[in-house]
Amino acid sequence: MKTLNRFVMPALALVLFFGTIGVSQATGSWVTSGREVVTAGTTLGAADLKGWMTLDQAAAGLDMPVADLIALVDAPPGALSGATAFKDIEAIVPGFSLATFRTAVQARLDAAPKG
Amino acid sequence: MTSPSPARTPRPAGRLTAYQRRMRAIGALHHRRYAVQLTVAGLVVFAAVRHQRESSSAAPSVDALCPFGAVESLWTWLTTDRLLPKIHPSTLIVGLGLLISVLIAGNAFCGWICPFGTVQDLLHRAKRALHLPDLTVPPRVDRALRYVRFVSLAAILLVSAGTVTLWFSGFDPYLTLFSLHWLFEPDLASMWPALLVLGLVLAASLLVERAWCRYLCPLGGLLSVLGHLSILRVRRSTTACTGCNLCVKPCPVGIDVSKPVAAVSTDCIGCLECVAACPTGGALVVSAALPGRKPRPGATPSGPVPVTIRPRRERDAR
């Protein structure tokens, strides 16, 4: 059993804890919010829509025109753009809920002709 | 005619008494610990403010910095083969960092890094500054209440796996406080259960120092178990200890540090208050030993002959 300087204990705890985070950031393994890059090639379902996504990203992932998505929101004309994130819509459109919006999008996808 | 009393030998300038040395050691520890704690808490608050004010993905919510999410995720994945939705992958990294840290350096995370521990320490300092009385929990009740951590850990993991949701995040006092939703997006109608839990926990911490860590923290319960595997621990030399009990009072989580066992309980949060308070060199030390290896008697520097250690209840009655 080796006796150590008492501050070795917290110093090691700090180095090991933050060091692990630092190494993961340096190697690109640090993903903080589960956000993925949504491009035209990404395939999303209505359930995949997240609060941080913009209408443009959702439209690209769902392969729908952004104007159709905006129409589903029931927002005042010109209030929303493709760059608006879902989480910001709540402040613009009182009563907006992402869960309800997902249901509306799913209904729209189900009604669209397959092919 | 009375003989003159012998002149007291003046203490050489710069030479400190044992009491002064002890006070300096305690002061130095406090400065360092509070500096680290406040820095970490400040970083978490900074991250929360950024998340609330910016919409870019570079500003994660504080959920992403909570190691308990990793425990819930891993348990749910192992028991149901499903992943929790809304989980931040970073929590697995934070959990891994904590695991490595605990296995090597003990539970110093709780005493030096955890921001919710910092809040409780600040509350305790405020209480002392205001000269508010301490609530003494009877030893039997204290021992029983410490098991609540394991009950809450089991309940949270079972419900998380059963519902495949992060249901506890809606009540977690760390998330409620540090997410800053109460400041930036106050919504009492939906937040009142979380705010109620937070209020109760803070009130309890005001009455009993680090009440959340002692009795309720599910992560603390898990770390207490893992602490048995730690290489570095605060250990007590049974030969050097004089049984003065000066190490008992400063312990923020109420461990009977002077208990006649070689290693301090795994409830220890690694704050080192007891080590700094110990007046006997080598009686309480941080030492490295492989888990399961019993320290040799007298492995730490020996000191004065030990005295009988009184039972806790007898000391409490004094």
Residues A99 and A57 in one domain: yes
Residues B215 and B263 in one domain: no
How many Å lie between the alpha carbon of A85 and the closest alpha carbon of chain B? Answer: 8
The domain boundary residue, chosen from B167, B193, B225: B225
Residues B114 and B239 in one domain: no
Residue A58 lies in a domain: yes
Q: Please, what is the average pLDDT of chain B?
A: 85
Nearest CA in chain A to B99: A17
Residues B213 and B270 in one domain: no
Own/partner long-range contacts of B136-139 (Cβ < 8 Å, ≥24 apart): B136/B316, B137/B208, B137/B254, B139/B312, B139/B313, B139/B316
Range in B53-62, B144-153, B162-171, B305-314 with the lowest mean pLDDT: B305-314
Q: Which domain holds residue A85?
A: 46-111
Residues B27 and B173 in one domain: yes
Check if the interface score ipTM surpasses 0.90. Answer: no
The domain boundary residue, chosen from B205, B225, B245: B225
The CATH number for B297's domain is 3.30.70.20
Residues A58 and A105 in one domain: yes
Residue A61 lies in a domain: yes
Residues B205 and B257 in one domain: no
pLDDT at res. B210: 95
pLDDT at res. B286: 92
Residues B38 and B117 in one domain: yes
Residues A53 and A104 in one domain: yes
Per run of 10 residues, the mean pLDDT along chain A (length 115 residues) is: 87 97 91 61 76 84 87 84 84 83 88 68
**Residue B50 pLDDT greater than 90, yes or no:** no
pLDDT at res. B219: 96
Domain count, chain B: 2
Q: What is the mean predicted confidence (pLDDT) over B215-228?
A: 95
pLDDT at res. B310: 43
Residues A58 and A90 in one domain: yes
Residues B246 and B122 in one domain: no
**Best B32, B179, B230, B285 residue to mutate vs chain A (most A CBs within 10 Å):** B285
Q: Give B38-49 pLDDT, tens digit per residue.
A: 999 999 999 889
Q: Do B104 and A16 touch (CB under 8 A)?
A: yes
Residues A13 and A53 in one domain: no
Residues A50 and A106 in one domain: yes
Nearest CA in chain B to A10: B108
Q: Do A3 and B300 touch (CB under 8 A)?
A: yes
Q: Do B287 and A8 touch (CB under 8 A)?
A: no
Secondary structure of residue A46 in the 3-state scheme: helix
> Could you tell me if A22 lies within 8 Å of chain B, comparing CB atoms?
no
Residues B140 and B202 in one domain: yes
Compare CB distances from A12 to B61, B105, B276 and report the shortest one's residue. B105
> Could you tell me if A35 lies within 8 Å of chain B, comparing CB atoms?
yes
**Best B100, B118, B190, B275 residue to mutate vs chain A (most A CBs within 10 Å):** B100
pLDDT at res. B142: 94
pLDDT at res. B300: 47
Q: Do A16 and B105 touch (CB under 8 A)?
A: yes
Residues A60 and A26 in one domain: no
pTM of the model: 0.77
Q: What is the mean predicted confidence (pLDDT) over B114-141?
A: 93
Residues B59 and B173 in one domain: yes
Residue B147 lies in a domain: yes
Residue B5 lies in a domain: no
Residue-level length of chain B: 318
| pLDDT over 70 percentage in chain B | 85
Residues B145 and B115 in one domain: yes
Q: Which domain holds residue B98?
A: 20-225
Residues A63 and A103 in one domain: yes
Q: How many CB pairs under 8 A join A and B?
A: 120
Residues A50 and A24 in one domain: no
Residues B180 and B62 in one domain: yes
Residue A40 lies in a domain: no
Residues A8 and A57 in one domain: no
- Judge whether B57 and A50 are in contact, CB under 8 Å: no
Compare CB distances from B287 to A2, A16, A31 and report the shortest one's residue. A2
> Residues of A numbered 61-90 whose beta carbons fall under 8 angstroms of chain B's beta carbons: which are they?
85, 87-88
How many Å lie between the alpha carbon of A98 and the closest alpha carbon of chain B? Answer: 14
Name the residue type at position A80: L
Residues A22 and A63 in one domain: no
| CA gap A97, B214 in Å, rounded | 40
Q: Give B262-317 pLDDT, tens digit per residue.
A: 778 899 999 999 999 999 888 999 999 887 766 555 444 433 333 333 444 544 54
Q: Which of B76-80, B101-105, B280-284, B289-293 has the highest mean pLDDT?
A: B101-105
Residue A85 lies in a domain: yes
Nearest CA in chain A to B95: A17
Domain count, chain A: 2
How many Å lie between the alpha carbon of A112 and the closest alpha carbon of chain B? Answer: 28
Residues B261 and B130 in one domain: no
Can you give chain B as a three-state secondary structure string? CCCCCCCCCCCCCCCCCHHHHHHHHHHHHHHHHHHHHHHHHHHHHHHHHHHHHCCCCCCCCHHHHCCHHHHHHHHHHHHHCCCCCCCCCHHHHHHHHHHHHHHHHCCHHHHHHCHHHHHHHHHHHHHHHCCCCCCCCCHHHHHHHHCHHHHHHHHHHHHHHHHCCCHHHHCCHHHHHHCCHHHHCCCHHHHHHHHHHHHHHHHHHHHCCCHHHHHHCHHHHHHHHHHHHCCEEEEECCCCCCCCCCCCCCCCCCCCCCCCCCECCCCCCCCCHHHHHCCCCCCEEEEECCCCCCCCCCCCCCCCCCCCCCCHHHHHHC
How many Å lie between the alpha carbon of B95 and the closest alpha carbon of chain A? Answer: 9
How many Å lie between the alpha carbon of A30 and the closest alpha carbon of chain B? Answer: 5
Q: Which residues of A touch B93 (CB under 8 A)?
A: 20-21, 24, 29-30
Of residues B270 and B3, the one with the higher pLDDT is B270
Residue B315 lies in a domain: no
| pLDDT over 90 percentage in chain B | 53
The domain boundary residue, chosen from B225, B252, B282: B225
Residue A35 lies in a domain: no
